[in-house]
A and B are shown apart, each in its own frame.
Chain A
């Protein structure tokens, strides 16, 4: 048995340490430690619900929109506010833009360097690269110029962000030509994610951290010129996802089919649901609410059954509290994987760890019979089955490969749905609806905003007394996925997913890094 440590885990939002015990080239046990405590829930106390909308976004600079919306929805639930239809559509569009932004940034900027060997791209044959791009149906670029730029960069001897990467690692499987295509699109993706973020900036002032979805609705008023801008930006991003992102995914996946064989995790999937329908029923959201336990049968999650354990976390309050009555009292002690080892609490639903994220959302939609999601997943599985020479059914999605694929396919689904929301907004305005905001009628109450960030189920529990926040609790996607062990010693979803991962080089545990990144922490 050998312990390998990755600390700091890079290409994530925040601070994470991962320890794995490796025997015979396979991970046997794992511990995941969140490294940062800031105390948002405490800072928000005694402030106003509108303040919470602005401040709580600062939990996550990659998914501030989702935090802003969950906060606002929590306050609206507490104060009995039903937002106008226009505000609902506007929030869906902003939220959708964040999903596109986040998923594109995740695949190309954050995780691609686990699979794509930048240095190998130097030996690509340019003519073969064009041929490969054509065959894969993915977009071309000036591959020669990009290779030349890369060559100059490498020969200059200063590798900047690529210094000391896992170049030439035995787990890197792509041919040089595909590496070059991926590097070209890595650069292009930076432009596209920024275009998606510009949609948010038009409707919310800026990104990251936006300004407009205050409790009660929105203060952004659409004009013809702004709607034009949004439509053009959406179309640019949507077409890039269809013509580059998805074909890239399908071109790279056949080289990593072994990743369908490990990385499953706890096998319980929770989604609060995202993108509200006109009747605000969470089970009718574009990505619906649902819970899958064990054999993938669909159930309704009961948030009253959530308990947050702190047996292995640096907190000191009653153990197993429900977030509606939760407490956050930090108390640091030594780091020990046998004792306390994380700033992250361990939330459990019905005492079970829950995986959250695109895989959970897509599985809930798939099992629930969503036709678009079913078609996206089935055609992808068919393509991968052909490459594998074996049948890959929906069960194969419960793996590293499935988790990556689910996020990329969700990008396509959301991009297409977003087009419909823009049309819906234009029609609503044309019908003469000019209401965007309503005032609360009371100043006391408690409620929860149960929503989704790009990386998974997100909840803000808000308790307001006399217009001021009396208690505030947040359970983020990474609290679910990165949780340490609980009271019963049960591993968190990432810890469980790491078990069984093959490790070729213990000094450079690249495969473990892939598992971590597949959760998009």
Chain B
């Protein structure tokens, strides 16, 4: 990296009241989040420093509940002011930006117009609303899909935040009344070729948004094309989505012991207080690939399973399905191990013969994944079972 670029960046930070020491500390926490040693902090720092200008970004609001923006406001490292003042120039972010109406739209235009010299990234929150010729979402008197096509086509990269942007999310839930789909599928259909990074869960976990912004985009891996090597077939960063919740669950020991919280049992509260496993309550941890138990939520203060609720699998989005793989249809009824397969026009109530037995599928997944994990040496010294005791007893699921 050129020395003058580094000097320029340090001056920029100093002008913003950020010391180099603070900056390195921040890079250290990013390293930790990415599962790397803090020794990598200087490397991350130098990668970020190679550009003195703030990375311009547009955060688009589509078929959303604003929960992903809300989630960003709960980020632990770095804090929100650092993101919006020191890391990115978020020229458009509907929920927090000062400008409205005409003035807001001018910000999009100015950013696009400057793209040739200053490439920008686009962050999409919410489902792509294709229903009613795109008028299920109206922005500036036009179908929301127009904005998406126009902006994404000019972007250096697109980050789809939250399950809705990844594959339509709950909005695509049967019967998908508003024609929701995901960003990847939509852009592909419209022949817009731009790298899309998919970050599922509902809402998105803010810590992995930051990890992606820093590691993949600011650190120059977009320009080098290395970004694509870091993504799986669904466009998800592998390091965030390659282990199941069950793999890293603190209640896992109770699963191995066959100690399960029984929903509605007289001593349910005592079982929960003892931290027993929520598998029998329908927990979707075994089939959901996210790092929630490690990264946790709301500045790492807790996470879903710690609160006593089974995981509902909100990270099970699948960008390859164009909506039909949404997590709500994949996991309801949430408090059951057997899901209802919904056929168009038939509704949710299914005869037992076509009910898909998720327990069995999950069990197979556990065996395969357990072996794979052990081979990588992830589990500290404890040999992984070839088959879970519970599943051996309940072959084919428990319904």
Q: Is B353 an interface residue (CB 8 A)?
A: no
CB pair B100 A8 closer than 8 Å: yes
Q: Is A60 an interface residue (CB 8 A)?
A: yes
Q: Which residues of A contact B285 (CB under 8 A)?
A: none
CB pair A58 B177 closer than 8 Å: no
Shortest CB–CB separation between residue A248 and chain B, in angstroms? 18
CA distance A64 to B65 in the complex (A): 9
Q: Is A227 an interface residue (CB 8 A)?
A: no
Interface size class of B (residues with CB under 8 A): 35 or more
CA distance A349 to B282 in the complex (A): 41
Bitwise interface map of A from 190 to 233 toward B, beta carbon under 8 Å scored 1, else 0: 11011001101111111111111010101111010000010000
CB pair B272 A36 closer than 8 Å: no
B-binding segment of A155-163, A280-288, A382-390, A453-461:
A155-163
Q: Is B242 an interface residue (CB 8 A)?
A: no
Given that A149-B17, A202-B301 are contacting pairs, would A160 and B99 also be in contact in the complex, using a CB cutoff of 8 Å? Answer: no
Q: Which residues of A contact B85 (CB under 8 A)?
A: 149, 153, 160
B-binding segment of A9-17, A292-300, A416-424:
A9-17
Size of the chain A interface, CB-CB below 8 angstroms: 100
Given that A60-B65, A61-B67, A207-B298 are contacting pairs, would A11 and B347 also be in contact in the complex, using a CB cutoff of 8 Å? Answer: no
Q: Is A513 an interface residue (CB 8 A)?
A: yes
Q: Is A257 an interface residue (CB 8 A)?
A: no
A-binding segment of B28-36, B68-76, B229-237, B365-373:
B68-76
CB pair B298 A201 closer than 8 Å: yes
Given that A194-B298, A201-B297, A201-B298 are contacting pairs, would A156 and B107 also be in contact in the complex, using a CB cutoff of 8 Å? Answer: no
CB pair B98 A118 closer than 8 Å: yes
CB pair B89 A335 closer than 8 Å: no
CB pair A5 B101 closer than 8 Å: yes
Report how many A-B pairs have Cβ atoms within 8 Å.
309
B-binding segment of A42-50, A235-243, A366-374:
A42-50
Q: Which residues of B contact A5 (CB under 8 A)?
A: 101-102
CB pair B139 A205 closer than 8 Å: no
B268 closest partner in A (C-beta): A437
A143-165, CB < 8 A from B: 145, 148-149, 151-153, 155-156, 158-165
Q: Is B381 an interface residue (CB 8 A)?
A: no
Q: Which residues of B contact A161 (CB under 8 A)?
A: 84, 90, 93, 96-98
Bitwise interface map of A from 1 to 35 toward B, beta carbon under 8 Å scored 1, else 0: 00001111111111101000000000000000101
Given that A205-B303, A206-B302, A207-B74 are contacting pairs, would A436 and B139 also be in contact in the complex, using a CB cutoff of 8 Å? Answer: no
CB pair B66 A62 closer than 8 Å: yes
CA distance A511 to B340 in the complex (A): 51
CB pair B97 A51 closer than 8 Å: no
CB pair B348 A46 closer than 8 Å: yes
Q: Which residues of B contact A194 (CB under 8 A)?
A: 73-74, 298-299
Q: Is B203 an interface residue (CB 8 A)?
A: yes
Q: Is A435 an interface residue (CB 8 A)?
A: yes
A41 closest partner in B (C-beta): B177
CB pair B140 A212 closer than 8 Å: no
Q: Is B249 an interface residue (CB 8 A)?
A: no
Q: Which residues of B contact A12 (CB under 8 A)?
A: 94-95
CB pair A330 B178 closer than 8 Å: yes
CB pair A35 B139 closer than 8 Å: yes
Q: Which residues of A contact B299 (CB under 8 A)?
A: 194, 198
Bitwise interface map of B from 202 to 226 toward A, beta carbon under 8 Å scored 1, else 0: 1100000000000000000000000
Shortest CB–CB separation between residue B103 and chain A, in angstroms? 4
CA distance A12 to B66 in the complex (A): 9
CB pair A158 B137 closer than 8 Å: no
Q: Which residues of B contact A38 (CB under 8 A)?
A: 63, 127, 129, 136, 171, 177-178, 180
A4 closest partner in B (C-beta): B101
For A109, A211, A439, A468, the residue with the greatest tally of chain B CB atoms inside 10 Å of its CB is: A211
**Which residue of the partner chain, among B107, B135, B270, contacts A164 with CB atoms under 8 Å?**
B107
Q: Is B258 an interface residue (CB 8 A)?
A: no
Q: Is B335 an interface residue (CB 8 A)?
A: yes
CA distance A472 to B209 in the complex (A): 34
CA distance A145 to B68 in the complex (A): 31
Bitwise interface map of B from 132 to 148 toward A, beta carbon under 8 Å scored 1, else 0: 11011111110000000
CA distance A254 to B225 in the complex (A): 56
Q: Which residues of B contact A155 (CB under 8 A)?
A: 15
Give chain A's interface residues, CB within 8 Å of chain B. Answer: 5-15, 17, 33, 35-40, 42-43, 45-48, 50-51, 54-55, 58-62, 64, 105, 109-110, 113, 118, 145, 148-149, 151-153, 155-156, 158-166, 187, 190-191, 193-194, 197-198, 200-212, 214, 216, 218-221, 223, 229, 314, 330, 332, 335, 343, 434-437, 439, 468, 507-509, 513
| Known interface pairs A158-B89, A211-B304; 17 further A-B residue pairs with C-beta atoms within 8 A, sorted by A's residue number | A5-B102, A8-B61, A15-B61, A37-B132, A46-B340, A46-B347, A48-B333, A161-B97, A163-B107, A164-B98, A165-B99, A194-B299, A201-B302, A212-B308, A220-B309, A332-B135, A437-B269
* 8 A-B pairs with least C-beta separation: A61-B67, A165-B98, A152-B15, A39-B177, A46-B348, A211-B309, A205-B307, A201-B298
Q: List 14 A-B contacts (CB under 8 A).
A: A8-B101, A9-B100, A43-B176, A48-B333, A61-B70, A152-B17, A164-B104, A202-B307, A206-B297, A206-B307, A209-B314, A330-B177, A330-B178, A436-B268
Give chain B's interface residues, CB within 8 Å of chain A. Answer: 12, 14-17, 53-54, 56, 61, 63-71, 73-74, 79-81, 84-85, 88-91, 93-107, 127, 129, 131-133, 135-141, 169-171, 173-178, 180, 202-203, 264, 268-270, 272-273, 297-299, 301-309, 312, 314, 328, 332-335, 340, 342, 347-349
